[in-house]
Amino acid sequence: MLTFQFLIAWQNAAGNSLKVGVLALQGDFREHLASLEACGADASLVRTYEEISGVEALVIPGGESTTIYKLAKNFDLLELIREKIKGGMPTYGSCAGMILVADKILDPASGQETFGGIEMTVRRNAFGRQVDSFEVDLDIKGIEAPTVSAVFIRAPWVDSLSPRVEVLASVEIDGELHPVAVRQGSVLATSFHPEITSDNRIHKFFLEEIAKAI
Ligand code: GLN
């Protein structure tokens, strides 16, 4: 049987392809870029004030949230990113990126701040040493079956959240459910790293359901 594949170019309201930036200060930004490109997005790595100003959606990678914060502060990018997220820029943060889009960190490193965007408090390295890194099959609201194989690496979880935050997936630890994928308006966050797997459905969900809405 013949199958036809269509490369979809995601478009903004003006009919141009939507410019998606991957914040490339530290972390696994190249993997995110590859996932976005595999979805047909017009994506690029961004690290300067001008580059970040020029994008319409932003992905914040996994890595080390304290380092990404420090670099953003030193390069005077903190307010720019905060304002863009506040202004409704579709944003997706994975792992360290989830920490950076949280309004609050429960146990910040000394002086550590975030960009904010989701009314939640996250706990860094929440799963503890014994389960430092692990993989689970997750049912994620908005993603059709089969389940997503989610990879957690020194991951945060959402400790508390406002009723305006939608929980898309949780992990059960010792009988307690901890949110690991959440969305508030145009901001999406996952504790895990879809960018290091070949499953691009989370990126596709971000591009299709969230970023296209601008
Ligand atoms: N523990 C890291 C932090 O606090 C996040 C780890 C990751 O992104 N894989 O930033």
Ligand 1 mean position, distance from CA 61 (Å): 10
Tokens 């400790």 — which residue? 159
39 is catalytic: no
**How far away, in angstroms, is 65 Cα from ligand 1 center?**
6
- Which pair of structure tokens corresponds to residue 43? 């994506």
- pLDDT, residue 2, reads 44
**Ligand 1 atom closest to the CA of 67, numbered from 1:** 10
pLDDT number for residue 5 = 43
CA dihedral 140, 141, 144, 145 (to 10 degrees): 40
pLDDT of the chain along its 214 residues, tens only?
444 444 455 565 555 679 999 999 999 999 999 999 999 999 999 999 999 999 999 999 999 999 999 999 999 999 999 999 999 999 999 999 999 999 999 999 999 999 999 999 999 999 876 568 999 999 999 999 999 999 999 999 999 999 999 999 999 988 999 999 999 999 999 999 999 999 999 999 999 999 983 3
The domain segmentation of the chain, as residue ranges, is: 17-213
pTM of the model: 0.92
Which structure tokens are listed for 179? Answer: 């949110």
As a whole number of angstroms, the distance between CA 21 and CA 168 comes to 24
| Neighbouring residues of 47: CB distance < 8 A, sequence distance ≥ 6 | 23, 24, 25, 75
The pLDDT of residue 29 is 98
Structure tokens at 161: 């959240």
172: Cβ contacts below 8 Å, ≥ 6 apart: 178
193 is catalytic: yes
Ligand 1 mean position, distance from CA 22 (Å) = 17
Q: What is the CATH number of domain 17-213?
A: 3.40.50.880
C-alpha–C-alpha distance, residues 178 and 48, integer Å: 35
Position 16 scores a pLDDT of 61
Q: Is 175 exposed, middle or buried (0-12, 13-18, 19+ CB in 10 A)?
A: exposed
